[in-house]
């Protein structure tokens, strides 16, 4: 069965470290998204991609970067982790044409100390 996975599921890191969160989907979807979930804010879009070599900034992109070298993966990198980036991160994907319904991964809980 097609799926979308995230790793690690939990991560503790120190302020200033570079961290990369992995997202892998086997749906063969062109669209991929990264969100963070914080209490009172819902899901906020960090970065998104509509295909290989395409990346775009979302609502809260400062301090984050992504790269899309193939269809299956969209890793999210925190260049220099800050305590404000402690959050739960979700990756999602959707079809190009019927892009409305996004399929989410299980999430990564990141704690920056």
Binding site for other proteins (CB under 8 A): 4, 31, 33, 35, 40-45, 48, 50, 58, 90, 92, 94, 96, 99-107
- Residue closer to other proteins by CB (options 3, 79) is 3
- Residue closer to other proteins by CB (options 31, 79) is 31
Q: How far is the CB of 88 from other proteins (least distance, A)?
A: 9
Q: How far is the CB of 56 from other proteins (least distance, A)?
A: 9
Pairing of strands 31-38, 42-51: antiparallel
**Prior bond of 8 cis (ω within 30°):** yes
- Residue closer to other proteins by CB (options 89, 112) is 89
Tokens 């997202």 appear where? 23
DSSP string, 60-75: T-TTEEE--SSSSB--
Q: How far is the CB of 99 from other proteins (least distance, A)?
A: 3
Q: How far is the CB of 38 from other proteins (least distance, A)?
A: 10
Gap between the Cα atoms of 17 and 72, Å rounded: 26
- Residue closer to other proteins by CB (options 49, 85) is 49
Tokens in use for 84?
Answer: 């404000």
Gap between the Cα atoms of 102 and 96, Å rounded: 11
């Amino acid at each position: 069965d097609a799926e979308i996975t995230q790793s690690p599921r939990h991560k503790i890191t120190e302020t200033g470290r570079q961290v990369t969160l992995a997202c892998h989907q086997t749906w063969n979807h062109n669209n991929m998204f990264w969100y963070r979930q914080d209490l009172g804010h819902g899901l906020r879009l960090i970065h998104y991609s509509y295909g290989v070599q395409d990346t775009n900034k979302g609502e809260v992109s400062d301090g984050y970067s992504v790269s899309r070298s193939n269809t299956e993966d969209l890793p999210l990198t925190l260049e220099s982790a800050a305590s404000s980036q402690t959050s739960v991160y979700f990756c999602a994907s959707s079809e190009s044409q019927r892009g409305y319904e996004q399929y989410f991964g299980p999430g990564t809980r990141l704690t920056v100390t």
